[in-house]
Chain A
Amino acid sequence: MSSTPPSLLAELWRHFSRNRGAVAGLAVVLLLVLLALFPGWFAPHSPIEQFRSAALSPPAWLGGGSRHFPLGTDAVGRDILSRLIYGARLSLTIGLVAVSLSLSMGIVLGLISGFMRGWVETAIMRLMDVLLALPSLLLAIAVVAILGPGLLNAMVAIAVVMVPHYVRLMRASVIGELGKDYVAASRIAGAGTLRLMFDTVLPNCTAPLIVQATLGFSSAILDAAALGFLGLGAQPPTPEWGSMLASALEFIASAWWVVSFPGLAILVAVLAFNLMGDGLRDALDPKLKS
């Protein structure tokens, strides 16, 4: 009697769950997803409703605070907690859109350059070198300069910044896989190039892509917040975490809660994705474990 081997997912979870930091990261990410999907269930108010009479009221536990506004209100009387909760939806959307865009572009370009080699590969890789040579925020700023400020354009800018990482990763794995017997067997069996690319080779290159995509979420959230902070990303009154800090410098002496909570939200979200990404890397690729 033979025992069935554990399923891939169960195996992955077994490795992943040993890493307490990674599990904590996953828990925070799940919480953020819940908030992002159903912000109305959790947020006490609308993110853009202005309670003018209660402007800059402190958090509930301080003197002068009100339990209607658990984390206080900003300069025009908007509830900070509600803005943070709706901001989770924005940040996750930004991450999802930017990562999906760059991942799909990266996969296609990486597959092409890995399969074609020759001048096509050289052209693609040189272009990626150019993009990599520019500091991420500088490149994002260049893209925003062309497209104009705004949330959608910020997502495109961030996606462009991340593409080279996926292309390089993909190309390297493709070249590694192409030398293996199963690819040769598939080719001899008559599989066309497209089938070889997406059906045969791609599924075997996913592990590093998953790790990079998870870490991509954290850099997308950070970059979007930085653009928002500089006034080049989400525009007011959108409750984006970074743009909530854009005018915060004025309140630094008078209303610390306006400054502290949005940044804390960014830090926690980014940290969670980084912890989860590290855990996934160790679980998916035991070779990389030190």
Chain B
Amino acid sequence: MLAYILKRVGMVIPTLLGITLLAFSLIHMIPGNAAEALSGERGMSPERYRELAHQLGLDRPLHVQYFDYLVRLLHGDFGRSINTHEAVLKEFLTLFPATAELALCAILLALMLGLPAGILAAVKRNSFLDYSVMGVSLTGYSMPIFWWALLLIELFSVKLGWTPVSGRIAIVYDFPTSTGFMLIDAWRSGQAGAFRSAVTHLILPAIALGTIPLAVIARMTRSAMLEVLREDYVRTARAKGLSWFSVVCVHALRNALIPVITVIGLQIGTLLTGAILTETIFSWPGIGKWLVEAIHRRDYPVVQGGILISATIVISVNLLVDLLYGVVNPRIRHGR
């Protein structure tokens, strides 16, 4: 098992280095010069440029600069935002809980609806129910989620007036944010209506963000279930006289879940992509909105650091899923 873990972790290191190289090159590939990109100063004189380039270490050979960059990253120095002059890592950590809360709720929603839908579709194969589930999930999979979010706002916020349009909580509530997760903080604050307000703010963005994972999970669960239901042990269990329900939910589901878990792990990338759009629409103060604003403001240190940290998170989650998969399934651990 240890050998398997070490091998997997070892395989990730080149990818991580590649990402740092990509983030490093980003600053040097931007039109204009790196000193401008890093400082945000425009139209600087040649003297000022030389001074700044020296200060930023840009006058040294590229490989030295890259090595320095790596050393700084290892010390947790991801640069400073041109706009706020805050450390990029600190900004990221402040905003990350908002994105994490949204993404977690979205994936929970996707699981709660997607798993049963996929199971039902597989059990009632070729029925009207099966076709509906598959049709809806293909539509969800093809949905431009920024438009879907707009439709949700139009119906639930504008027409019905059930939910607010933007933000994480109504402005009247004020309490310390100890965890950064608004639902938990609002609950613990004990203020009347705070939790309710947090929930109503969260629900639409979570639906918008959860739609694509929901569609993917429903499709994947259905095909994994169909595969498993054909197996001999399912027939044996039925022949022993076990009820259809317990065969499906106990025997078949456990084995069908393995590929589904992998797919959930792979959805982390989809969630981050979706968060960029969802957060922009709902003014959700998370990583996605922060990155888009940074691009518009040409705040390149934030773009560079944000992309690097996000990619690292995606890689780490995928690594974790790989490792879990090895724990669950010994064939993978001992295979190639």
Q: Give chain B's interface residue range (CB within 8 Å of chain A).
A: 35 or more
**A-B pair number, CB within 8 angstroms:** 129
Q: How far is the CB of A83 from chain B (nearest CB, A)?
A: 15
Interface centre among B141, B143, B144, B315, by most chain A C-beta atoms within 10 angstroms, is B144
Chain B residues near A249 (CB-CB < 8 A): 150, 153, 281
Closest approach, in angstroms, between the C-beta of A236 and any C-beta of chain B?
15
A252, B147: Cβ atoms closer than 8 Å = no
B296 sits at the interface (CB 8 A): yes
In the assembled complex, which residues on chain B have CB atoms less than 8 Å from the CB atom of A226? 144, 146, 277
Docked-complex contact A138 and B273, CB < 8 angstroms: yes
Q: B269-294 toward A: CB 8 Å interface, digit per residue (1/0)?
A: 11011001100110000000001100
Identity of the chain A residue whose Cβ is nearest the Cβ of B303 in the assembled complex: A145
Structural contact, B291 and A141, CB atoms closer than 8 A: yes
Stretch at the interface among A42-50, A61-69, A112-120, A268-276: A268-276
Contact in complex: A245, B142 (CB < 8 Å) = no
Other-chain residue from B15, B276, B314 in contact with A141 (beta carbon distance below 8 A): B276
Interface check B261, CB cutoff 8 A = no
> Out of B26, B142, B226, which one reaches A146, CB within 8 Å?
B26
9 A-B pairs with the lowest CB-CB distances in the bound complex, closest first? A263-B147, A130-B18, A137-B273, A135-B269, A270-B142, A271-B142, A135-B273, A135-B272, A266-B144
Known: A130-B21, A137-B276, A230-B276. 11 other contacts (CB 8 A): A133-B311, A141-B303, A142-B22, A148-B31, A229-B144, A249-B150, A252-B153, A259-B147, A262-B147, A270-B143, A274-B138
Q: Footprint of A on B, CB under 8 Å?
A: 14-15, 18-19, 21-22, 26, 29-31, 138-139, 141-144, 146-148, 150-151, 153-154, 158, 223, 226-227, 269-270, 272-273, 276-277, 280-281, 291-292, 295-296, 300, 303, 307, 310-311, 314-315, 318
Residues of A within 8 A of B (CB): 126-127, 129-130, 133-138, 141-142, 144-146, 148, 218, 222, 225-226, 229-232, 242, 245, 248-249, 252-253, 256, 259-260, 262-263, 266-267, 270-271, 274-275, 290
